Amino acid sequence: MHGTVRSWDDESGWGVLVSPEVPGEVWAHFSAMHTTESGEFASLEAGEAVLFTWEEAEQDGYSYRASQVRRPGAQEADPQDGEGGGEGEGGGEDGGEYSSIHIELDPG
């Protein structure tokens, strides 16, 4: 999904993304950023174009959370399954790093 960084706070390590394809603002954390080096500090600037996947999740007053974020010039990898707008922008196959968590509840 294509979007724009509405705001970003390096000190806090998070910001807000917007896209006409998402029904609201999307909270994004630096740990969801694609980086080329493991442990590299990830930062964005307001007005910067980004590609991202998102999910419906309450986070700091936002109804949507970015699960993966990358700059348009970053090499695209295979899509990963997910909920919400996770139609598959970015991966980690090119040596980049993403942080993610997947939780499944046992109904029994």
Digit-coded pLDDT (tens) for 22-45: 999 999 999 999 887 776 778 899
Domain count, the chain: 1
For residue 65, the enclosing domain spans: 2-70
User: What pLDDT sits at residue 97?
Assistant: 46
Give the separation between CA 32 and CA 16, rounded to whole angstroms: 12
Which residues touch 2 (CB under 8 Å, ≥6 apart)? Answer: 19, 21, 49, 50, 51, 72
In the predicted structure, residue 49 carries a pLDDT above the cut 80: yes
User: What pLDDT sits at residue 107?
Assistant: 67
Give the separation between CA 14 and CA 30, rounded to whole angstroms: 6
Residue 62 in any domain: the answer is yes
Residue 15 in any domain: the answer is yes
Residue 7 in any domain: the answer is yes
Q: What is the CATH number of the domain that holds 20?
A: 2.40.50.140
